Amino acid sequence: MPNNAKLLTSLLAAALIVLGVLAPAAAAQAGPAASDRLVLTWAPDGKQLQVDGFGYRPKGSVDIGLGSDPIQQAHADATGRVRVAVPQQFVAVGQSGISIIVTGRSVTGASRVLISAVPPRAAARGPVDLLPWSIGAGLAAIVAIGALIRVRSRRS
């Protein structure tokens, strides 16, 4: 095998290893795996707090509260998932850490209460936001180097 082909094979193997390491981390962030979780995330614009609760009675009524104050009532979907958007006006700027409480009935009819703290809003973009672009640029560079090596090997 010529040196150029070995180099191209090595670069391709390195790219696949990098993707293999990063893919499980992305899959882990895709969503909750357990049915007993309450997930709170800020909408990309930061004006609403998304509340996702799992394991409630399908089509059952659920109460959502902020600390000791009730916010609203919602209904679970056919799978027992509750998804509600809480407007920013209910969650004041300095209240990260206050509890969101989702109360309802489980599939068996028992009382089900899930509690989670309001996460702080992201202040700015960080290095993680550049990760997909960095991977794409790295793969494009590998392809460009491989093409350059191939053109030079044909000239020889």
The answer to whether the CB of 87 falls within 8 A of the CB of 51 is no
Instruction: Quote the pLDDT of residue 40.
Output: 86
* pTM above threshold 0.75: no
Task: Tell me the sheet residues that pair with 56.
Answer: 106
The answer to whether the CB of 80 falls within 8 A of the CB of 128 is no
Residues of the chain with pLDDT under 70: 1-5, 8, 11-12, 14-16, 18-35, 91-96, 122-126
Instruction: Quote the pLDDT of residue 113.
Output: 92
How many C-beta atoms surround the C-beta of residue 100 within 10 A?
24
Q: pLDDT for 106-142, tens place per residue?
A: 988 899 999 988 887 766 666 777 788 889 999 999 9
Instruction: Quote the pLDDT of residue 73.
Output: 92
> Taking the domains of the chain in order of start, what are their residue ranges?
3-29+125-155, 38-117
Rounded to an integer, what distance in angstroms lies between the CA atom of residue 120 and that of residue 54?
A: 22
- Which of 43, 48, 120, 35 shows the shortest CA–CA distance to 82? 35
Give domain 38-117's CATH superfamily.
Immunoglobulins (2.60.40.10)
